[in-house]
A and B are shown apart, each in its own frame.
Chain A
Amino acid sequence: MIGMYDTYEEAMDMEEDDQYTESTWTYIFMCGEPTIYEGLRFAKDLIIANILLRLIIQSVVLPHNVRHSLSLVIGSFLLYYSIGPAFIWTVGLATGAYILIILLSCIMKKFRGLITSLSVIAFLLACEVYVLNPKMWQQIRGVQMIAAMKIISVAIELDRDLYKCMLNPVEFGGYVLCPANCILGPWISFHTYNQYLEVKFLSKRWFKIIFINLFISMLFLVLSNCVVPWYIDEETTKWLVAYRDAQAFRMSHYFVSSLSVVSMISAGFGLTNDCHSELHVTKPIFIELPRSLVQVVIYWNMPMHQWLKNYVFKTCQVYGQFTAILVTYAVSSLLHGLNFQLSAVLLSIGTFSYVEYNFRSKVALALEVCCLANPCVKQCDHKYKKNSVLTIFINALFSLITVIHLAYLGVMFEASFSVQESGYSFYHTISKWENLNYFSHGFVAFMYIIYIMM
């Protein structure tokens, strides 16, 4: 009797364990296959359009303007195939901005950059608030942002007299709608774009690089969709869950970034003449194991960081360091649209990294430890060098704080699909942060007080 009871209990236990393991892997599988299928379906259009562009440029000797118009035409088709009729907004933005730049060029030579930037941003905001429905805006926001960045950079470079003559419409259109980066980015300057159109190469390495990057992007996609959301259980502490959700969002970002590399490479952009990739969009390792928030901001999207630094920060630097930083963050959040969540996240990152930067420089000075927000470029002149125990300990502590900040900031982007699809509300953001007791904001405030007292 007793024996029977035992075996029965054991059998039940065994059964439940087996089921648990199986359902986990089955879930990953059931999620992974359609995910990869859809990821590849999206990548397919990108790759075909870009390879077509590259093969035509490579094999036929074309005059300058024809090459640009080829980029313009293929880019428009690609846009239409990926976002549908909404592509008219991007084309409209490019056309309107070009006409504006031409008109401004007739009147003045100085404030073209400023006025164009303001008009482009105003146009984006108007699109978001009055014209487009939230779903459609969520869909084309990234595309519009890239186009806006390109237009603003052209306008500012015109002010800085970096062009021999005014760009003709074909050059401008080809640049803005270039298939290599009109959908997922990354931003590149007009000069780089022009230069890449000239690059000639043809080798097997090219396919290899495309394939490797495609593989990496699919890996991040599966991680983001199927693996990361699962691997920490819902019932653990809310911080671990927040870390998991934020990480899923970061994986999604790595996926988009590496897919943008795929699209660039398949157009032959970002390759040297001997077919080596010189393109870096994001560096997952520096974000997953961060030294500081400042580093995360730099490596999150390197071309975008470059753009902000080059066109916003440097332009505003004459008005003082603090104003320049403030304007940079303001422009960055306005480019993302009038969304409370993004503005809040970006502003928080701004203040957090500002406080962190200053606090760490004070700590480094006080303890003579090499623990600045950015690693010392050459031999650092602190007493405790990079490899001393104290330095490693303090840097690890700061890393941990950064990881917590990242979880706190990234948890926003984990939401039900309907929210993801139609944009994040004010309430959503606040409830997420409330759930974590506004920890990071409080912590940074505390850090700032110590900084002042030090």
Chain B
Amino acid sequence: MKCPWLFVFTVLCMRCEAGGNKPRRGRGSMWWGIAKAGEPNNLSPISPGVLYMDPAVHATLRRKQRRLARENPGVLAAVAKGASMAVTECQHQFKYRRWNCSTRNFLRGKNLFGKIVDRGCRETAFIYAITSAGVTHAVARACAEGSIESCTCDYSHVDRAPHRSRAAAAANVRVWKWGGCSDNIGFGFRFSREFVDTGERGKTLREKMNLHNNEAGRAHVQTEMRQECKCHGMSGSCTVKTCWMRLPSFRSVGDALKDRFDGASRVMMPNTDLEVPAQSNDAVPHRVPRKDRYKFKLRPHNPDHKYPGNKDLVYLESSPGFCEKNPRLGIPGTHGRACNDTSIGVDGCDLMCCGRGYKTETIFVVERCNCTFHWCCEVKCKTCRTEKVVHTCL
């Protein structure tokens, strides 16, 4: 009885929010809430059907996203996994920074990462990139594992091997084709574009920023993918070749994106922006054609800097200070955060606590120790009680 009402309410709320109150934020970010679905506070374990029925999940999705989930059974579980992977990775990468990628309760139309995403700052750029990368990665993997029905290993693509064929042709060897589930990443990429970029029409500068960062996240997953091959034949010759694609570990994607975060470029609207609608169909002036959605170039804020590449993160405004609590921006402040008294970096107590000082406590921690690896795939540990000195910001 309650569920439909909740559903209607949240959808309405989302509508009005997207329509007017928050004009600056891109509109496609509500689905992040799916990362928290299926966690202990929700009773159901993750299984595609249950997840889809979950009204809380349902409410976070836009109409097009719901259609995509319906058309690709099993994909929602992958998206949820990708989103929670992204959150975990984000929190890992920003563990020792003032902004630590903390998440909020996503219910009631609130954004998972809080109001920080209303601002077009570096942190927001990272959030968009890592979540989009997470979906690409998780969907590609789920596709390879066969848990998405609409995505099968498409063996009709085996003949496509542009990067190999040229070398092979030059070497006068018959073009060697490689098979296997080569196109999983393609499915993940396309799906991520459809799903994640819903609502980012690319009209405003902020939407362009979101699109660019989403694309950057996907590009990192795609380019870090490696092909591994091996030869087989009599006494080490190469009569039979077998190759397979290996998805990068999500940690390496996170590391690469963190590097881009540190070197992110601040951008502004290009002067030539007017050309894009002029080239497209004049009859529909307000709508950027789908194909051209990704064809834009952002201009660096500082004209001396180079134009951002497709793997760079871009932002529009400088980050707010994360030191003090700021309810308007949803910043919790660094009060009570743990810090490292010997470090001179951002995780050091001086910077982390913004000069407010810190208190030092000695606590006993029960943790795993003497871990040994057992064949196969099991790690057994003892528990030890150790003394730890913890510094927390005032």
A residues bordering B, Cβ < 8 Å? 1-2, 5-6, 9-10, 13, 15, 17, 20-21, 23-27, 29-31, 33-35, 37-39, 41-42, 82-86, 133, 135-136, 138-143, 145-146, 183-185, 221, 224-225, 231, 249, 252-253, 255-256, 259, 301, 336, 341-342, 412-413, 417, 420-421, 424
Contact = CB atoms under 8 A, between A and B. Distances in A.
Given A5-B363, A33-B181, A225-B242, 20 more contacts: A13-B368, A17-B379, A34-B181, A35-B242, A37-B179, A42-B240, A83-B239, A84-B173, A86-B173, A138-B231, A141-B237, A141-B238, A221-B232, A224-B230, A225-B230, A256-B232, A301-B234, A336-B235, A342-B235, A342-B236
B159 to A, nearest CB: 12
A424 B141 contact: no
Contacts of A9: 365, 367
A29, A31, A341 pick with most chain B CB within 10 angstroms: A31
Contacts of A39: 240, 242
A142 B246 CA distance: 29
A142 B174 contact: no
Nearest to B144: A30
Contact of B230 (A29, A82, A420): A420
A5 B365 CA distance: 8
A5 B386 CA distance: 13
Contacts of B234: 141-142, 145-146, 184-185, 256, 301
Nearest to A420: B231
A133 B232 CA distance: 19
Contacts of A143: 239
Contacts of A231: 376
Given A29-B145, A183-B239, A34 B179 contact: yes
Given A5-B365, A31-B228, A34-B243, A142 B233 contact: yes
Considering the complex of A and B, which 7 residue pairs feature the smallest CB-CB distances, nearest first? A34-B180, A84-B174, A142-B234, A34-B244, A141-B237, A420-B231, A417-B229
A35 B241 CA distance: 9
A82 B349 CA distance: 65
Contacts of A412: 236
B274 interface: no
A139 B175 CA distance: 13
Interface string B353-391: 000000000011111100000001111010000000010
B233 A256 contact: yes
5 contacts: A21-B377, A33-B181, A145-B235, A301-B234, A417-B229
A31 B244 CA distance: 6
A61 to B, nearest CB: 35
B11 to A, nearest CB: 33
A358 B181 CA distance: 53
A136 B173 contact: yes
A145 to B, nearest CB: 6
Interface in B172-208: 172-174, 178-182
A421 B180 CA distance: 20
B249 interface: yes
B235 A1 contact: no
Contact of A20 (B181, B237, B241, B379): B379
Contacts of A255: 232
Contacts of B246: 27, 30-31
A337 to B, nearest CB: 9
A93 to B, nearest CB: 16
A37 B363 CA distance: 56
Nearest to A84: B174
Contacts of A421: 229, 231, 238, 241
A72 B259 CA distance: 61
Nearest to B231: A420
B171 A15 contact: no
Interface in B211-253: 228-247, 249
Contacts of B236: 249, 341-342, 412-413, 420, 424
A42 B179 CA distance: 11
A21 B364 CA distance: 30
B340 interface: no
Contacts of B179: 34, 37-38, 41
Given A17-B379, A23-B249, A29-B145, A224 B171 contact: no
Interface string B64-91: 0000000000000000000000001000
A418 B315 CA distance: 41
B244, B363, B378 pick with most chain A CB within 10 angstroms: B244
B153 A33 contact: yes
A136 B173 CA distance: 6
A42 B144 CA distance: 22
A417 B239 contact: no
A133 B242 contact: no
A15 B233 CA distance: 41
Interface in B255-311: none
Contacts of B230: 224-225, 252, 417, 420
Contacts of A38: 178-180, 240-243
B180 A37 contact: yes
Contacts of B364: 2
A140 B237 CA distance: 8
B72 to A, nearest CB: 20
Nearest to A23: B249
A330 to B, nearest CB: 16
A34 B233 contact: no
B237 A139 contact: yes
Contacts of B381: 13
Contacts of B376: 231
Contact of A6 (B244, B245, B365): B365
A385 to B, nearest CB: 36
Contacts of A37: 153, 155, 179-180
A259 B242 CA distance: 14
Contact of B144 (A33, A140, A146, A424): A33
Contacts of B229: 417, 420-421
A137 to B, nearest CB: 9
B182, B233, B243, B368 pick with most chain A CB within 10 angstroms: B233
Contacts of A341: 236
A118 B231 CA distance: 29
A38 B376 CA distance: 27
A30 B363 contact: no
Contacts of B174: 83-86
Nearest to A143: B239
A24, A85, A336, A420 pick with most chain B CB within 10 angstroms: A420
A269 B15 CA distance: 73
B237 A15 contact: no
Contacts of B241: 38, 421
B237 A138 contact: yes
Contacts of A413: 236
Interface string B128-162: 00000000000001001100000001010000000
Nearest to A417: B229
A309 to B, nearest CB: 17
Contacts of B182: 34
Contacts of A84: 173-174
Contact of A133 (B171, B178, B249): B171
